[in-house]
Amino acid sequence: MLTGSPGAVSIPDQEDVMEDNKKEHRLSLDWWTVIVAFSLTALILVGLPAIPW
């Protein structure tokens, strides 16, 4: 669930929240996070140079 907008306390629309819950079979943001993080890890493990911090 993405919340937040500039200059506004983010107020999710209740209908949207319910609608989102119905569409639970769609891949959630949480799962995308895990997929992206693991892909990045795999990239780094096979030798992508470290990003300087």
Q: Provide the binding-site residues for another protein, judged by CB under 8 A.
A: 1-14, 17-18, 21, 24, 28-34, 36-38, 40-41, 44-45, 48-53
Non-local (6+) Cβ contacts of 4 within 8 A are 10
Q: Please report how close the Cβ of residue 43 comes to another protein at its closest, in angstroms.
A: 9
Token pair belonging to 26: 């769609």
Say how far apart CA 47 and CA 41 lie, in whole Å: 10
CB of 20 to another protein, least distance (A): 9
Total number of residues shown for the chain = 53
Report in angstroms how near the CB of residue 15 gets to another protein at its nearest: 9
